[in-house]
Structure formats: C-alpha cells, structure tokens
C-alpha cells in the first residue's frame, strides 16, 4: 500500500484507527482504506453513524460558544482527532481574541495533521498524549505554556470516553484532570449510549463488536455511568440529554431519530 505524503512514518497502514474512522464519517480525506472498510462495517451495524458524528460536532461547537459566553476562553480538547471545518479553535477564535486551545490526541496521524494545519498559530498547541496518562497532559510544556490554570478552563472530552474501558479507570483519569482545574472550569462530554435512545440495545452491541474486531473497544455506558463522570461538577441546564437537545440553535424535531442516541452534557466545577 502506497503511503500518502501526509501519513507519518511508522504508521501501520493495515490497522484501522478510531480517529481516522471518525474523519471518514465526517467526510474528511485523512483516512486509509482499512479505516473506510471498518467504518462501512460500523455503519452497516448501526445505520446513521455519520449523522450521529455530525451531531456530536454540532454539540461541541454549541458547547464552545456556551463556554465563551460564560467568560471561559481556554480549552483543553482531549481526543481531538483530525482537524475538520468548524473545529474548536475556529469557533473559539472567531468569537474571542483571547481564545487559547490545546489539542491532545494519541493518534500520530491526528497529531501530525493538526500540527501542519495549526503551524504558526500561537494561540493553539498540539500534544501527543493519552487520556489514560492525565498527569502527562496537565504537566506538558505545551499545556502549561498556553493555558493558565489559575483561570477557568473548558475540558472537552467529545466522543472519547466511550473508547476508554472500565479497566483503564476513566473516572480516575478524569479526577486527575478535574483536580488540576480551577473553580469555574467546565467539563464537556458526549458519550455513546442506547439508554433512552431510539434503537435497541442489540444494535449498540453490534457496532461495539465491529470496533472490537477493528482493535478498539466502544462501550455503550448507561446514563448512571455517564453521570458519574460529572462527579464534583454541577450539570448546567438542560442536564444530561441527547446531543440535539443540548441548547439547540433552533427548533428540534426534524432530525433523523438516530441522532438522539447518546448522551451529552456540560458541567461546571464549583
């Protein structure tokens, strides 16, 4: 297989990547055939996945604008993936000259492409790190050089936590990050779930099986399990809801019912 010019050396082109599959769902071009094949299998198991991913991104943009409206201009986006139109820094910088964004991902393609896209932008930084090593993220020069932890920070974990298994203690990793954030900071999460959704649980298990076969785990957590991530944060209105229902820009009701699967919310640290 020919290696594209944008693909860092050392990448195994025969193994699918969660972030490159996500890029494919969003119509991006930074993915390989192995990613597209796995994504097509996932779509077959859970029709409507691309619409769900687009809904996730729209929620993220609304959450960023909400943070800015609350006076929060610093963003730590973990599991940021491959930059696409309307990413965090574009939304934030369009609204505030004070906006600062640190992107964090463990996928070398996502990191390399992010650095290429953001080269020369002194208000953004890109860090190669893993959510499961939270102290590395908090203490990294890229993070400390751009974000002031004496002022509120918006921590974004968008479409990330459902790829972290219970055995890796995502609640513990989040606690380390939470403790580093000052009062007034925000936590932005959306998470795969079939609790209260429009599709049967078996379909959730089917798509989880596709991801397992591709070398990743997709965990459909319950509402109670997702709510645990907001321990020591106070959920802002409207609470933990389907992504389209979180502070929509306009009337809700015409969307494909599939996009109401999953949970999204924003919490504030007291």
Closest CA to 13 of 239, 24, 30, 26: 30
Write down all domains in the chain, each with its CATH number in brackets. 55-204+229-269 (3.40.50.150)
Structure confidence at residue 129 (pLDDT): 98
How many residues are present in the chain? 270
Structure confidence at residue 241 (pLDDT): 97
Closest CA to 126 of 115, 117, 134: 115
Tally the C-alpha atoms within 13 A of residue 112's C-alpha that lie toward its C-beta. 13
Structure confidence at residue 251 (pLDDT): 85
Q: Buried b vs exposed e over 144-176: b needs ≥16 C-beta within 10 Å?
A: eebbeeeebbbbbbbbbbbbbeeeeebeebbee
Instruction: Establish whether the linkage from the previous residue to 28 is cis, with ω within 30° of 0.
Output: no
Structure confidence at residue 195 (pLDDT): 86
69 Cα distance to chain centroid: 21
Structure confidence at residue 217 (pLDDT): 87
pLDDT averaged per 10 residues in sequence order, the chain, 270 residues: 68 84 90 92 90 94 98 98 87 95 92 89 97 98 97 97 96 97 98 81 83 86 96 97 95 83 96
pTM over 0.75: yes
| CA-to-CA separations, 142 to 123, 132, 136, 138, 213, in angstroms, rounded | 11, 18, 11, 9, 34
């Amino acid at each position: 297989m020919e290696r594209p010019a944008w693909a860092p050396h050392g990448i195994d082109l025969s193994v699918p990547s969660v972030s490159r599959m996500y890029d494919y769902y969003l119509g991006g071009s930074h993915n390989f055939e192995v990613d597209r094949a796995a994504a097509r299998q996932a779509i077959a198991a859970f029709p409507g996945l691309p619409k769900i991913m687009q809904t996730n991104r729209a929620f993220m943009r609304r959450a960023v604008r909400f943070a800015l409206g609350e006076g929060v201009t610093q963003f730590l986006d973990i599991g940021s993936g491959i930059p696409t139109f309307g990413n965090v820094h574009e939304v934030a910088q369009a609204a505030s000259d004070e906006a600062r964004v640190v992107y964090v991902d463990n996928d070398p393609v996502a990191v390399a492409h992010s650095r290429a896209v953001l080269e020369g932008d002194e208000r953004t930084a890109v860090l190669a790190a893993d959510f499961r090593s939270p102290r590395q993220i908090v203490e990294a020069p890229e993070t400390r050089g751009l974000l002031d932890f004496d002022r509120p920070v918006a921590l974004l974990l968008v479409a990330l936590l459902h790829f972290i298994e219970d055995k890796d203690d995502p609640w513990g990793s989040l606690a380390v990050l939470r403790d580093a954030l000052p009062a007034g900071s925000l936590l932005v999460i959306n998470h795969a779930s079939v609790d209260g959704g429009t599709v049967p649980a078996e379909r959730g298990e089917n798509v989880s099986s596709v991801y397992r076969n591709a070398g990743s785990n997709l965990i459909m957590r319950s509402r109670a399990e997702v709510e645990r991530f907001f321990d020591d944060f106070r959920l802002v209105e409207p609470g933990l809801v389907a992504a389209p229902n979180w502070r929509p820009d306009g009337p809700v009701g015409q969307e494909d019912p599939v996009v109401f699967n999953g949970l999204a919310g924003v919490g504030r640290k007291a």
